[in-house]
Structure formats: structure tokens, C-alpha cells
Amino acid sequence: MNPKHIILTLLIMLCPIGMTAQSTITRHKPKPAVTKPKPAAKPKAKHKPAPRRNSTHHSGSTSSTSGPNSTSSTSSISSTSSTSSTNSLSAELNKLINNMVYVPGGTFTMGATSEQGSEAESYEKPTHSVTLSSYYICKYEVTQALWRAVMGSNPSNFKDDNLPVEYVSWDDCQTFINRLNSYTGRNFRLPTEAEWEFAARGGNYSRHYKYSGSNYISDVAWYDGNSGNRTHPVGTKQANELGLYDMSGNVWEWCSDWYGSYSSYSQNDPTGPNSGSNRVLRGGGWYIIAGGCRSSYRGCRTPGDRYRDLGFRLVLSHL
């Protein structure tokens, strides 16, 4: 056998061994590790913003269920209500201005003058001379219609537009007056105690009555003898010499002054003590006896007090 045949025979004999070895190497080769992808983290839930409430809708309505005409309808109602309120305010303010009565300045004796009789109390004394500048005072007590037009509410116990507003404190009156002045551009205020008494006596036209406008209480006042335990519409009794109504009876009227003792000295445009714990009340009310409705009678309450017989009247230094 020549050398070529010998080499060929050896190669043929070795081939199966090589294939088997290759197969063994392949079977035992470690499989590559399979890495499973981690599931993506779930996104955190975001809080949904609450739907904005349309200011023209009631709290029960939502924009998703409202028809195309809902907003315009509600806006129309709101507009009508606003117009009505504006008209009411304008009408009441016009009435107020028209009802302001001019009180020419003058000098009078303040306190327990002779016509006040034996009912006069010690705190109405001593009498003293007071000189006042001219001013304007409303012929009526502030009505519930005016209060509601300005404040948008009515605190009164006895409710009717033409009844005097009551259950208002001195502090409440200041809030009302500040708002009224912002609407009118004027300087309404409470009367001083001296201004109130001068007006109640009839000013320079005084006939020196015991009550405001008469010596007979029932002519001019709603008091405990005829009121039926309630307030009455303003201006339904006889007016006094200046044309002012209910200066005696119906509701007590707040004055601007702190309450204090009188002195015998003459005074010009007095405004009362600089401080105190009570504010002055004047005029008497529907529940009080006749003596408490006299023109010189004085009462007082703390500025925060509210009662069913507490109201007020407005004054202007200048129109």
C-alpha cells in the first residue's frame, strides 16, 4: 500500500471521533442565562383636579350636564336680581335725601326744663344752655326697607318695610352708616345727644311741649299704653314743630355720644364725653311708659347691645 492510501485510510478512521467530540462539546456547553425584563413600575395615580364650579350655577349643577342655555339663563336671573337690588337701593337713597329736614342752628336749654314736670330724673339735670350749628335730620326713623337696601339683610324682630329697623346695636349702625356713605358720597351720621334733643323739642320753632310735638303722649307716640307690644309704621302719629315723626316712642334712637353726667356750663356743639362704657339712647319706645318718652329723658346701653326696641335716625351736617 502506497503512502497516499495509508494517509487517506487514517483520515477516514478518525472522522467519526471528531464528530462525536464536537457533539459532546455542544451538548455540555452551558446555556446562556435568560434575563427576564422587569415589569415597568406602575405610574402613581395623579389626583384629578376638582371640576371648577361655575359661579353662575347653583352648587348642585355641573358644566357637563348643563345645556347650552343653562349659564345664560342663570346669568339672566342673577342680572335681574342685581338690577332689582340696585333699583331698590337707588329708590331708598332718593327717599332718604328727600326726607332730610333742615334744622336751623340756635340756642336752647337742654335737660329737665319746667314742662318736663316732676317725672324728670336727676340725670336730666342740671339744665344748661347749648348752642348748635345748623344741620339736617331725617323726618323718620331708619326703616327696614332702607336698612335692607343698604345691608342686604334685615335683623328686625317685627318685619315690614315701613316699620323702623330694630335689633341693631350702636356698632351695627356704624357699619350701616359707613356703607351708606360709600354709596352716596355723603357724611351721614348719628345725631349728637344735643342735636337730638333740640330737634325733638322743635328747634327754634319749639312750643315747649313735654313730648316731641304735644303734651298728650297718644298724639305723637307709640308707647306701652297704645302700641299693642310692637313697633308701628313710621310717620303714622302726629309730627312735631319741625315735621319730625316718632321722636317720642316707637323705637329708642341711638345717639353718637358716650353717656355722661351733665354740667351747668354753656356749650357749643357738644359731642359728649371722650370715653365711656355706654352710648346714649333717646326718645323711648313701644314698651316704655309715657315718662320715658319725654323730650329730655335719657337712656343708655353698651355699643354692642341689640333689642327689639332699639333703632336710630340719621343726621347730615351738610346736604
The pLDDT of 265-289, averaged and rounded, is 98
pLDDT band at 84 (very low <50, low <70, confident <90, very high): confident
22 or 134, higher pLDDT? 134
List the end-to-end C-alpha distance of the chain, in Å, as a whole number.
150
Residue 217 predicted with pLDDT over 90: yes
19 or 296, higher pLDDT? 296
In the chain, % of residues over pLDDT 90: 72
Count of residues for the chain?
A: 319
* Rounded-to-integer distance, Cα 195 and Cα 240, Å: 15
The CA–CA distances, whole Å, from 255 to 14, 39, 53, 89, 210 equal 133, 81, 46, 25, 20
Candidates 121, 114, 108, 40; CA nearest to 284 is 121
Q: Look at residue 93 in the predicted model and tell me its pLDDT.
A: 97
Q: Look at residue 5 in the predicted model and tell me its pLDDT.
A: 52
Q: Considering only 23-32, 101-110, 186-195, which range has the smallest mean pLDDT?
A: 23-32
Q: What is the mean pLDDT of the chain?
A: 83
pTM over 0.85: no
Q: Look at residue 305 in the predicted model and tell me its pLDDT.
A: 98
pLDDT tens digits for range 147-192: 999 999 999 999 999 999 999 999 999 999 999 999 999 999 999 9
Q: Look at residue 181 in the predicted model and tell me its pLDDT.
A: 98
**Residues 6 or more apart whose Cβ sits within 8 Å of residue 101:** 136, 137, 138, 139, 242, 243, 244
Q: Look at residue 77 in the predicted model and tell me its pLDDT.
A: 53
| One-letter identity of residue 58 | H
pLDDT band at 45 (very low <50, low <70, confident <90, very high): very low
83 or 226, higher pLDDT? 226
Residue 36 predicted with pLDDT over 60: no
Q: Look at residue 262 in the predicted model and tell me its pLDDT.
A: 98
66 or 266, higher pLDDT? 266
The pLDDT of 212-218, averaged and rounded, is 98
Q: Considering only 36-40, 137-141, 142-146, 234-238, which range has the smallest mean pLDDT?
A: 36-40
**Residues 6 or more apart whose Cβ sits within 8 Å of residue 135:** 103, 105, 191, 195, 315, 316, 317
Helix (H, G, I), strand (E, B) or coil at 86: helix
pLDDT band at 67 (very low <50, low <70, confident <90, very high): very low
pLDDT tens digits for range 51-66: 333 333 333 333 333 3
Q: Which residue has the cell 332699639?
A: 310
In the chain, % of residues over pLDDT 70: 74
The answer to whether residues 212 and 284 touch, using CB atoms and an 8 Å cutoff, is no
